[in-house]
Structure 1
Amino acid sequence: MPLEISPFTAADRAGWEPLARGYKAFYRTEHTDAQYEATWQRLLAGTQLIGLAARRDGRMLGIAHAFFHPTVWASDALYLQDLFVDEAARGQGIAAALIEVLAGRARAANVSRYYWNTHHENARARALYDRVARWHGFIRYDVALNAG
């Protein structure tokens, strides 16, 4: 069966949440049920966030969450915040297809940059990223803004 990639619909909630939870578990990040619901509603609204589902034979196998944002020195950018593929479906080109669909949106919007971050230990994903994108050597720092 061919892979279908499309924006989330209200019917996708049950397929989205296990993948979103899998993504957050990979990065050892916990959220409440209310946070998952709020995120789902923002993704479904499609006004600020882009939410894409990758499906094969009607089953959701991967997700991508992204958003456009302004930059200081150039036109807007597209940031791919979350990308996750069901473990049983990895190695089938799903992540690459999600990346490429978003690249098409970035090109159509004529943005200056399309980028994402990953953990340095995420070797499997980095192997893909090294094939489809260029690493510029940047290291990310985060300032703790609240307790916890």
Structure 2
Amino acid sequence: MSDALTIRAITRQDYDRWLPLWDGYNAFYGRSGATALPAEVTATTWSRFFDAYEPVHAVVAESGGTLLGLAHYLFHRTTTAIAPLCYLNDLFTADAARGKGVGRALIEAVYDEARRAGSPRVYWQTHETNTVAQALYDKVAERSGFIVYRKTM
């Protein structure tokens, strides 16, 4: 990357550059083709970033006018702390930006937002097969040891 990397809050004008990253993120996790998210989910996700009543936020990584990555995060209450926790819901970088510090910069930006909000913890999940991402995550956070269970309704 010859141009400086900027991490910033997403704006409404970013939609056309955000959407390919969002689609890439969903494809990475097998949500494409017949299993793609409904368009309504994408539209609702996008609108939540700009709704002051929603706890969902987004930052993007930009260089030379190109969006290279995204991070979506949200704040939620918990029974183990007074201040809300920060959940890093989605993190994705374009293929060309991998291994160049974009993912780390996005994580650090979420850490900064969590500190500003008084959140005592940032946490996230990744798939057990996502070993490339885990190499970064092991450098910037600690594994909690928790196993995730879920039931689709």
State the TM-score bracket (shorter-chain normalisation): over 0.9
1:112 counterpart (117, 120, 137):
120
Residue equivalent to 1:70: 77
Identity %: 41
Instruction: Determine whether 1:23 maps to 2:30.
Output: no
Residue equivalent to 1:34: 40
The Cα RMSD (Å) is: 1.1
Q: Distance in 2 between matches of 1:32 and 1:144?
A: 16
Report how far residue 126 of structure 1 moved: 0.2
Q: Distance in 2 between matches of 1:49 and 1:38?
A: 11
Q: Distance in 2 between matches of 1:9 and 1:21?
A: 18
What do the CA deviations read for 1:85-109 (whole angstroms, capped 9, x no partner)? 0011111100000000110111122
Q: Check the 8 A contact 1:5/1:98 in 2, yes or no.
A: yes
What do the CA deviations read for 1:20-79 (whole angstroms, capped 9, x no partner)? 111111111221223212211112335421111110011000000000111101131000
* Equivalences for residues 71-90 of structure 1 within 5 A: 71-74=78-81, 75-90=83-98
Q: Check the 8 A contact 1:68/1:77 in 2, yes or no.
A: yes
What do the CA deviations read for 1:1-36 (whole angstroms, capped 9, x no partner)? 111111111110011111111111111122122321
Q: Distance in 2 between matches of 1:66 and 1:89?
A: 20
Specify the code of the residue in structure 1 equivalent to 2:116.
A
Specify the code of the residue in structure 1 equivalent to 2:51.
A
Instruction: Determine whether 1:43 maps to 2:45.
Output: no
Q: Matched residue of 1:121: which SS?
A: coil
TM-score, normalised by the number of residues in structure 1 = 0.93
Q: Matched residue of 1:73: which SS?
A: coil
2:9 counterpart (2, 7, 10):
7
Q: Check the 8 A contact 1:55/1:62 in 2, yes or no.
A: yes
Q: Distance in 2 between matches of 1:106 and 1:44?
A: 18
Q: How many residues align?
A: 145
Specify the code of the residue in structure 2 equivalent to 1:128.
L
Q: Distance in 2 between matches of 1:33 and 1:76?
A: 30
The farther-off stretch of 53-62 and 107-116 is: 107-116
